[in-house]
Amino acid sequence: MTLLISDTGYEVHAVVVGPMENNVFVVRCTETGDAVLVDAANEHERLLALCEALGVRRVLETHGHWDHIQAVPAVRDAGYDVAITAADAAMLPSYDSILEDDSVIEFGRLRLHTIATPGHTPGSMCFALENTPVLFSGDTLFPGGPGNATFEGGDFGTIIESIDRRLFTMDPATLVLPGHGNWTTIAAERPNLDEWIDRGW
């Protein structure tokens, strides 16, 4: 586990799990100790220990692909609410609540804003932490381009539109924390949009 960001009122912890090296994030309110976990991907025992240590109250899924949901049954069995978009809900073995676009998830004194970004999957969702430069982009945006849109339910034109209209309108300094690999910023990625469209992936 890595303490990735520690700032006034909040922390972001990160851990890499499973054969696909998924990034799992815990966002924690330092005033109240309440937290949420983004993507119960794999290695459920490790994630459950994190949940207990960091005060996780809820689990948010960025999308329903198998590598992001392996630990969902275990975290639900342990009593954590698991949330997913309606469009991706059927991809999960089980879930508790539905995430809707342009809504707010409150925990402690923190507020996460939901941003629907279909294209990698029909129900892909990003989460922006209010009043901070932090965006959890799932498999929608990576350093160097969009997530893979060739899987069933994916669509390249749709993911490009999601990135352009929903993410590239954000502050250029926004830190993009994706579902795999390294972090990037909106400023670093936005100038490359036309290049991605031209190459087609």
Q: What is the CATH number of the domain that holds 141?
A: 3.60.15.10
Note if the pTM is more than 0.95. Answer: yes
User: CA dihedral in degrees (43, 57, 54, 42; nearest 10)?
Assistant: 10
Q: What is the pLDDT along the chain (201 residues), one digit of tens a residue?
A: 799 999 999 999 999 999 999 999 999 999 999 999 999 999 999 999 999 999 999 999 999 999 999 999 999 999 999 999 999 999 999 999 999 999 999 999 999 999 999 999 999 999 999 999 999 999 999 999 999 999 999 999 999 999 999 999 999 999 999 999 999 999 999 999 999 999 999
What is the pLDDT, as a whole number, of residue 1?
79
For the chain, what is the domain count?
A: 1
What is the pLDDT, as a whole number, of residue 35?
98
Domain residues for the domain of 16 are 2-199
